[in-house]
Each structure stands twice: as C-alpha cells, then as structure tokens.
C-alpha cells in the first residue's frame, strides 16, 4: 500500500506539470495569436500533430492529481483543518479533483481520435440547466459560487498563502512569490468574469450569455487580455514549480481500503 501511495504522489507531481503546461498554452495562444481557449481547448491544441505520448502522460497526471484532490476533500490530506477556511479549501479541492478527472477523460478521447468538448460546453451546460425547474436560479447560484472562488483566489494572491505548500528554500524566493501572486490574481479575475456571465445568463434566462475561461478571455479588450494572459502564463510557470517543490502528503490508500472493506463487510 505504501508503494502505491508513493507512486500516486509521484504521478500527482506529473499532474501539476500537466496543469502548468495547459495554462502556458492558453496564455501563449492569447499572446501570439489572440485566440482564447479554456483548458479543454488547450488540451486539444496539444493533441494536434501526433502528441499521443504527451497526452498519455498528461492523462496519468490528471488522474493522479484528481484522485489526490478528491482524497484531500474527503480525508483532509493537506491538513486544512475543520474551520471555515479549511472547509472552503476542501470543497475547492473536491471541485478541482472532478475537473481534472474530466480533463483526463477528454485526453483519453483525444488519444482515441475523438474530438474533445471545448468552449461551447459552458453554454450547453447552461442550456441544459435552464430546462430544469428553477434552472435560472441554479445558474445564478453557480455564478455566485464562481464569484466566491474568484474572490478567494484574489485573497490567496494578496496573502501569498500558497507559499506554505512549497519547500522552504523555494518559498522564500521573491520571484516565486510574485509568480504565484500574478497567477492566482489572473485566475481570480477569470473566475469573476465567468461567474458574472453565469449570473447574467440565469437572470436573463439566456444560455448564450454563459461562458467559461475562453469566453472570459475573449471578452477582455486590449490591453487587459494581454495582462491576464501574462498572469495565466505566470500561473502555468508556478504550477511547474509546484510539480517539483510542492510539499505533498501521501494519499491514505491503506486507510481508504480499510474503510471500503468495513462498509462492504
């Protein structure tokens, strides 16, 4: 069990690197071509030109990262605590875990030669939600959640709380601090814009007004699109730093197995 946990931890580092690569691609697309993409679109870009080996490595990293984040949400692997701040961190970890498992699924589809869902996915999801009873209210609530996440990212950028997860010899470097700050600030702004789009779509009952990262980047005018893209580039670089220097607590594989066996018994 210890060997399994250690391998998963090593693959989680690969997941941080894969996340970083996606954000670097998203930023470079904006800076070099003016094209706005979300992580799914960046994944499809990387898959073009026969990048199956790269996609396979990223898939393994996303699966491990997603499981690690879900494990953190369920078992407080990162020791966030049981106060309000800790609970918010664990809820965010759970959401992040689900998102990265979905990215892994999309990477598998690309490896198999099938197209991944990009940009319009947010609007399609909004359309499906609006068809439900109280769908507009659900969209507004989802938008408010994104607004809260965006504000949380901005607070994280201001306080540089992300440094506590890095090895001390790296966390103390000023350029690392400002790389992380720029990255989290840019992500926070993207979440705020996406949340605004969802709230507006819910209030107006129009799915076409919903949008994710791609729509948020496309909505920004020059020079703000460039500023945010540079911030996302910084976040990608910070994720690569985390891939090497993040302090990772191993997933409690043995404890999880015991819990499953106890429930089955």
pLDDT digits (tens, 9 = 90+) for 157-176: 999 999 999 999 999 999 99
**pLDDT single digits (tens) 102-126:** 999 988 888 887 655 544 578 888 9
How many domains does the structure of the chain reveal?
1
Unique residue bearing structure tokens 């705020």: 192
Q: What is the pLDDT of residue 49?
A: 59
Q: What is the pLDDT of residue 245?
A: 96
Among positive and negative, which fits the CA dihedral 51, 52, 55, 56? Answer: negative
* Segments forming the whole domain that contains residue 13: 2-264
**β-bridge partners, 132:** none
* pTM summary value: 0.88
Q: What is the pLDDT of residue 116?
A: 52
135-159 and 174-204 are packed helices; what angle lies between their axes, rounded to 10 degrees? Answer: 160
Q: What is the pLDDT of residue 119?
A: 46
């Amino acid at each position: 069990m210890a060997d399994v946990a250690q391998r998963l931890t090593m693959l989680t580092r690969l997941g941080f690197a894969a996340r970083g690569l996606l954000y670097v691609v998203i930023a470079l697309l904006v800076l070099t071509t003016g094209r706005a993409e979300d992580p799914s679109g960046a994944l499809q870009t990387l898959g073009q030109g026969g990048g199956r080996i790269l996609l396979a490595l990223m898939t393994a990293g996303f699966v491990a990262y997603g499981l690690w984040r879900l494990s953190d949400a369920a078992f407080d692997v990162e020791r966030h605590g049981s106060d309000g701040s800790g609970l918010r961190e664990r809820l965010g970890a759970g959401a992040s875990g689900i998102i990265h498992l979905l990215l892994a699924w999309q990477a598998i589809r690309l490896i198999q030669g099938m197209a991944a869902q990009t940009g319009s996915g947010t609007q399609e999801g909004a359309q499906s939600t609006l068809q439900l009873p109280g769908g507009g209210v659900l969209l507004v609530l989802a938008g408010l959640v994104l607004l809260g996440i965006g504000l949380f990212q901005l607070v994280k950028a201001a306080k540089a709380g992300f440094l506590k997860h890095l090895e001390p010899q790296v966390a103390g470097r000023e350029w690392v601090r400002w790389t992380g700050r720029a990255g989290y600030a840019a992500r926070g702004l993207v979440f705020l814009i996406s949340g605004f789009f969802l709230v507006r779509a819910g209030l107006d009952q129009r799915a076409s007004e919903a949008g994710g990262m791609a729509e948020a980047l496309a909505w920004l005018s020059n020079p703000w699109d460039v500023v945010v893209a540079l911030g996302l580039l910084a976040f990608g670089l910070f994720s690569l730093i985390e891939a090497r220097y993040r302090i990772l607590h191993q997933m409690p594989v043995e404890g999880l197995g015991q819990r499953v066996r106890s429930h089955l018994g």
